[in-house]
Amino acid sequence: MHIRKRILVTGGAGFIGSHLCEALLDRGYEVLCIDNFYTSARANVEHLLSNSRFELMRHDVTFPLYVEVDEIYNLACPASPIHYQRDPVQTTKTSVHGAINMLGLAKRVRAKILQASTSEVYGDPEIHPQSEEYWGNVNPIGTRACYDEGKRCAETLFFDYNRQHDLRIKVARIFNTYGPRMHPNDGRVVSNFIMQALKGAPITLYGDGSQTRSFCYVDDLVDGLIRLMESADTLIGPINLGNPVEFTIRELAQKVVALTGSTSAIEMRPLPQDDPKQRQPDITKARTHLQWKPKVPLEQGLLKTIEYFTALTPPD
């Protein structure tokens, strides 16, 4: 008898998590989505509730969880600076206690477990582009540290569980990802600029806008996460997943204004503390070992995201 794979997605009601749940269901798996809805809403996964292979549970990963699963994607963690800085102590607890609890669960049921790590482990990088060998440049006492150091410690825990308990682990370092179901008020640059453009409000460019980011469309990212989970057990990472095409934030602002046909003006605001000056993934490893590369160009992804936000913001 064929036993269907049962997959746990923590933070599954979030932006990336909801797309991941959808993609796993499309592949025929059973999905258990757990979330405490700290930065998301049930609405993100409401369309999945009628699927008998989908189960939604309210749970906080800082508390232990006893379920029987074959694979775990650990995504639970607020991801945007305004969300993770609102309660920084809780952010560190979510990354660290959350990792300990989910690794403990994986050890008990011998599940394979994937950690959604981040390019933030590289901090404000001194090498460019960032490859997985780079150890990073993180300020341990700055306002981004609760997130960056929490994620770094989670990586340490994953690798120690692998060495000490022979656990099957996978660590993905995700770079800036965008798309439908991003939180409209999460302060991240893509959602901010689109919402401002749609409302005709000033586009808030922090600093002089010369800092760079590389934006990956969510469908591409989810494809990379699943490829990594399903790769050989020897491929544990860390492995960068992101789109290597780099833009300045000013270029992004101009693109959003052009694509929305907005009348918004671009206004300069102070640069937040420890804001990385540049960020671009080296994805050689993902290309070589996962045969993965992003397919969706920025303009195409932005148009889909604009469509989503337009539906959220009916005209006054």
Q: State the residues that interact with ligand NAD by CB under 6 A.
A: 10-11, 13-17, 35-40, 60-62, 75-79, 94, 98, 116, 118, 174, 176-177, 183
206 touching ligand UDP, by CB under 6 A: yes
Q: Which residue has the tokens 């060495």?
A: 163
CB nearer to ligand NAD: pick between 221 and 253: 221
Q: Specify whether 122 is catalytic.
A: no
CB of 103 to ligand UDP, least distance (A): 25
Which token pair is 118?
A: 């981040």
As a three-state string, the secondary structure of the chain is: CCCCCEEEEECCCCHHHHHHHHHHHHCCCEEEEEECCCCCCHHHCHHHCCCCCEEEEECCCCCCCCCCCCEEEECCCCCCHHHHCCCHHHHHHHHHHHHHHHHHHHHHHCCEEEEEEEHHHHECCCCCCECCCCCCECCCCCCCHHHHHHHHHHHHHHHHHHHHHCCCEEEEEECCEECCCCCCCCCCHHHHHHHHHHHCCCEEEECCCCCEEECEEHHHHHHHHHHHHCCCCCCCCCEEECCCCEEEHHHHHHHHHHHHCCCCCEEEECCCCCCCCCCCECCHHHHHHHCCCCCCCHHHHHHHHHHHHHHHCCCC
CB nearer to ligand NAD: pick between 78 and 209: 78
151 touching ligand UDP, by CB under 6 A: no
192 touching ligand UDP, by CB under 6 A: yes
- Considering only 81, 150, 237, 244, the residue that binds ligand UDP (CB under 6 A) is 81
- Considering only 112, 170, 213, 227, the residue that binds ligand UDP (CB under 6 A) is 213
Q: How many CA atoms lie within 13 A of 297 on its CB side?
A: 3
Q: Confirm if 267 and 203 have CB atoms less than 8 A apart.
A: yes
Among 44-52, 86-94, 202-210, 219-227, the segment contacting ligand UDP (CB under 6 A) = 202-210
CB of 286 to ligand UDP, least distance (A): 19
CB nearer to ligand NAD: pick between 91 and 262: 91
Annotated catalytic residue, options 73, 84, 122, 147: 147
CB nearer to ligand UDP: pick between 29 and 175: 175
CB of 159 to ligand NAD, least distance (A): 17
CB nearer to ligand NAD: pick between 78 and 244: 78
121 interacts with, out of ligand UDP, ligand NAD, none, CB within 5 to 8 A per kind: none
CB of 262 to ligand UDP, least distance (A): 14
272 touching ligand UDP, by CB under 6 A: yes
Please list the active-site residues. 147
Residues that bind ligand UDP (CB under 6 A): 80-81, 176, 188-189, 192, 204-206, 211, 213, 249, 271-272, 275
